[in-house]
Amino acid sequence: MSLQYYTHGRRDQMKVALTFDDGPNPPRTDRVMEILDSRGARGTFFVLGKWVERWPQAFLRIAQKGHCVGNHSHLHEAHLGDFDRAEAVIGNLLGRPTRFLRAHYFNFFTCLYSPVAMSREMKIVDADVNPADYAKSDPQAIIDATLNDPALAGGSIIDLHDGREFDDDARRLASPLPMLEALPAIVDGLQARGFELVGLDEMELVEPIEWQPDERGTFASPEVRAAIHGLGGKAD
């Protein structure tokens, strides 16, 4: 078994896709959209099913404002069936299936056993610009890591995060999200270079990477590896 995933679109077009993982996270996701909308930019939001269930209105605002949404699993853990569970929640609200899926923590093993992930219509999308915003507290460091990434070019897919892994609401709302302070300068900087900021549904994804099981399987939990082993895959 194998799967393909994409890290970028056509290099001969000046399109760049900003993607935001782990939301919805109201009101921060709304702030992200304000920044994008005020600059004529579109984004793609890879949401978690559990947060969509908790904040359905926040999720629906993403779709209503015309941004692109993708499936980023339900629990953000390496459980078999996690993409399928998320798709049921997301697709039910969206009224149609999602077309883009992002595996978390390089969790491609569970994709192999997900009908949703492996369906012909679904594109599994990674990124070629990874500023690791979740690990940076200084907005300027996020701006620099994005705009100065040597991989940044036409067709780039940039991975940012608008969500947080806190179940507790007070903790979630109190946790800093420096990406929000960085985002206006990131959008302005990209547009100043002539890039059009598009949703993944406006980008022709090319040159998929053929994924083969590798050492990154250690990201999967022991339970998942055991389950995959039982299914005949090779997770170890």
Give contact residues for Zn ion (rule: CB under 5 A): 21-22, 104
- Residue 163 CB, shortest distance to Zn ion, in Å, is 7
Of 84 and 126, nearer to Zn ion (C-beta) is: 126
Of 67 and 104, nearer to Zn ion (C-beta) is: 104
Measure the CA–CA gap between 99 and 69, rounded to whole angstroms.
Answer: 8
- Residue 129 CB, shortest distance to Zn ion, in Å, is 16
Closest CA to 125 of 99, 162, 92: 99
Answer for the pair 33, 44: CB distance below 8 angstroms, yes or no.
no
Closest CA to 161 of 72, 80, 62: 72
Amino acid at 67: H
Of 21 and 82, nearer to Zn ion (C-beta) is: 21
Residue indicated by tokens 């269930």 = 53
Of 102 and 225, nearer to Zn ion (C-beta) is: 102
- Residue 76 CB, shortest distance to Zn ion, in Å, is 6
- Residue 38 CB, shortest distance to Zn ion, in Å, is 26
- Residue 104 CB, shortest distance to Zn ion, in Å, is 4
Of 22 and 126, nearer to Zn ion (C-beta) is: 22
Of 47 and 183, nearer to Zn ion (C-beta) is: 47
- Residue 40 CB, shortest distance to Zn ion, in Å, is 27
**Contacts for 105 with CB less than 8 Å, ≥ 6 apart:** 78, 219
